[in-house]
């Protein structure tokens, strides 16, 4: 297809389609951000910073920006710090606000106010905070990119036919030159219609008298016709024009902008599915252990090392060691989440122990779980205090007995100091064996108390 024959309407459609592809790729790229962890603050710190009385010696909050998303909104806080030499240094921290947002302060009575941007506007009426900027286009760039790319291709589509037409009129083609022989005045026949004397003796042979067999055969040229009257030699070298090369490069760039985030998204979804499969195997192993031990789940204790007997090892069994007949060594890959961002594999799953620990016990029975299908049995370990450096802030050894009793819990979300192990959530294993990717704590579908619907911090012992 010739670029000069493409109508402007098709250029606009191609531009909008390219913009949609690039915008979809950008949305997928934004979704790949790992929420939580270093550089993020929890909800309590976030709200205390909004209500803090400014002090000349403390960092000054100079800017607030919100990037809407689903299931969380990303809030960026910008601080300025005055250095002794008179210069000013700018620092940034982020907060992953769940959507809808439920404030912790008592003035709101714990009720959801909508999105975090609405909460910031309410706080601005009573606290001297900077104006809130909402970056809607960062999360929804499809329309803008489609308009820009479509407008660019519209201009390109309008210029290409004009430039090609100009080139055709300024360059002489072989067909035009062969039939356009210049004649001088002396070669032209006289105006009186008489034949010159030097041409009078030349016999004139009628065309019909010339035998067809004696006519000189014309050479058969290998030509094809582009259009109706424009011959082009078949053996002539054909190449891309500069415009066609630029269009091809632009199409490749657009496809890469869409395919690379799509490939990373597919890999992230595969890691999430593999993690859920490993958690299901862990649930099967826990039930098999309980069936072989009079209904009791493995016992948990303190901080343990693997192999046992190292300096940080404490007395008592580790539940990963008790599950060796069912899952293999505590170093088994079944304990390592494929989406773990660290370079060194860690044990990324925990055993639920908050209710048992507050009740003064080191194990519980499956028969004690009355809220079947809602009790959290295990899941992604997303508390950085339970990981050794450099990814975590805990002890130097990786715990071979990870549980959620103490240390602020094991299953944390970005709003309360944790991070997302997967894109848009953490995998949670329930007592009946099913696994759900949860973007936040849901008080109506999960509990850490086997008898009552309670969050991890609200668990009451027997």
pLDDT at 253 over 70: yes
Whether the predicted pLDDT of 356 surpasses 90: yes
Of the ranges 120-134, 188-202, 293-307, 440-454, which one carries the lowest mean pLDDT score? 188-202
Q: 3-state class of 72 per DSSP? A: strand
Residue pair 301/401 in contact (Cβ under 8 Å)? The answer is: yes
Helix (H, G, I), strand (E, B) or coil at 274: helix
Mean pLDDT calculated for residue range 258-282: 90
136, 298, 362, 374, 447 from 290: Cα distances, Å:
51, 8, 14, 19, 21
Give percent of the chain above pLDDT 70: 69
User: Is residue 148 predicted with pLDDT exceeding 80?
Assistant: no
Q: What is the mean pLDDT of the chain?
A: 79
**What's residue 178's pLDDT?**
47
Q: What is the pLDDT, as a whole number, of residue 355? A: 95
pLDDT computed for residue 142 by the predictor: 52
The terminus-to-terminus CA distance of the chain in angstroms comes to 78
- Short-list 305, 286, 407, 432, CA closest to 357: 407
**What is the pLDDT, as a whole number, of residue 190?**
54
The per-residue pLDDT for 56 is 76
Tokens of 340: 């773990």
The string of pLDDT tens digits covering residues 361-378 is 989 999 999 998 999 999
pLDDT recorded at residue 21 = 72
CB-based contacts of 8: which residues, under 8 Å, 6+ apart? 154, 157, 158
- Going from N- to C-terminal start, the domains of the chain cover 38-138, 269-438
Nearest to 23 by CA among 134, 147, 143, 135: 143
Q: Is the pLDDT of residue 274 over 90?
A: yes
DSSP secondary structure of 190-203: PTT-PPPGGGTTSP
Candidate ranges 103-112, 181-190, 279-288, 298-307; pick with highest mean pLDDT? 279-288
Average confidence (pLDDT) over 257-275: 87
- Give the rounded percent of residues in the chain with a pLDDT score beyond 90: 35
Q: What is the Cα gyration radius of the chain?
A: 38
Q: Minimum mean pLDDT among 200-204, 375-379, 435-439: which range?
A: 200-204
The two structure tokens encoding residue 303: 């901080």
Q: Is residue 124's pLDDT more than 70?
A: yes
User: Taking 50 as the threshold, does the pLDDT of residue 181 lie above it?
Assistant: no
pLDDT of 210 over the 60 cut: no
DSSP run (H or E) holding 279 = helix 242-292
- pLDDT tens digits along 49-98: 888 887 777 888 889 999 887 788 899 999 998 887 778 889 999 999 98
Q: H-type helices in 293-391, by residue range?
A: 319-322, 324-327, 354-358
CB of 10 closer than 8 Å to CB of 242 = no
Strand ranges, E, within 34-179: 60-67, 72-82, 88-98, 132-134
Residue 177 pLDDT > 50, yes or no?
no
- Tell me the C-alpha distance between 232 and 235, whole Å: 9
pLDDT tier for residue 184 given thresholds of 50, 70 and 90: very low
């Amino acid at each position: 297809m010739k670029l000069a024959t493409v109508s402007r309407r098709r250029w606009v459609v191609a531009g909008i389609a390219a913009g949609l592809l690039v915008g979809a790729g950008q949305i997928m790229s934004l979704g790949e951000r790992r929420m939580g962890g270093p550089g993020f603050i929890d909800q309590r710190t976030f709200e205390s910073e909004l209500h803090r009385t400014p002090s000349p010696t403390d960092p000054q909050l100079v800017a607030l920006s919100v990037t809407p998303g689903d299931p969380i909104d990303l809030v960026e806080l910008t601080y300025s710090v005055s250095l002794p030499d008179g210069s000013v240094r700018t620092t940034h921290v982020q907060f992953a606000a769940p959507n809808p947002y439920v404030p912790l302060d008592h003035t709101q009575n714990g009720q959801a106010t909508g999105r975090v941007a609405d909460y910031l506007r309410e706080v601005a009426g009573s606290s001297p905070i900077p104006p809130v900027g909402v970056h809607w286009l960062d999360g929804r760039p499809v329309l803008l990119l489609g308009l820009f790319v479509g407008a660019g291709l519209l201009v390109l589509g309008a210029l290409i036919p004009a430039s090609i037409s100009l080139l055709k009129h300024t360059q002489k083609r072989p067909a035009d030159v062969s039939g356009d022989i210049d004649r001088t005045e002396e070669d032209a026949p006289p105006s009186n219609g008489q034949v010159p004397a030097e041409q009078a003796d030349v016999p004139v042979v009628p065309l019909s008298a010339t035998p067809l067999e004696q006519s000189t055969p014309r050479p058969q040229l290998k030509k094809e016709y582009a259009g109706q009257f424009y011959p082009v030699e078949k053996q002539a070298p054909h190449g891309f024009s500069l415009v066609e090369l630029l269009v091809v490069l632009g199409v490749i760039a657009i496809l890469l902008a869409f395919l690379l985030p799509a490939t990373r998204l597919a890999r992230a979804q595969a890691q999430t599915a593999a993690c859920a499969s490993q958690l299901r195997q862990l649930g099967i192993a826990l039930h098999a252990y309980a069936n072989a031990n009079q209904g009791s789940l493995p016992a948990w204790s303190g901080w343990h090392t693997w192999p046992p007997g190292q300096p940080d090892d404490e007395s008592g069994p580790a539940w990963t060691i008790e599950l060796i007949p069912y899952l293999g060594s505590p170093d088994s890959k079944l304990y390592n989440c494929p989406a773990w961002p660290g370079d060194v594999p860690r044990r990324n799953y925990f055993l639920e122990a908050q209710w048992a620990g507050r009740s003064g016990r080191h194990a519980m029975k499956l028969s004690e779980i009355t809220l079947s299908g809602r009790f959290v049995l295990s899941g992604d370990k997303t508390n950085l205090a339970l990981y050794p450096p450099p990814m975590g802030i805990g002890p130097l050894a990786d715990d071979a007995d990870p549980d959620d009793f103490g240390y602020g819990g094991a299953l944390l979300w970005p709003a309360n100091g944790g991070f997302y192990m997967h894109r848009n959530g953490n995998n949670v294993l329930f007592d009946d064996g099913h696994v759900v990717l949860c973007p936040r704590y849901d008080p109506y579908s999960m509990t850490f108390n086997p008898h009552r619907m309670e969050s991890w911090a609200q668990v009451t012992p027997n």
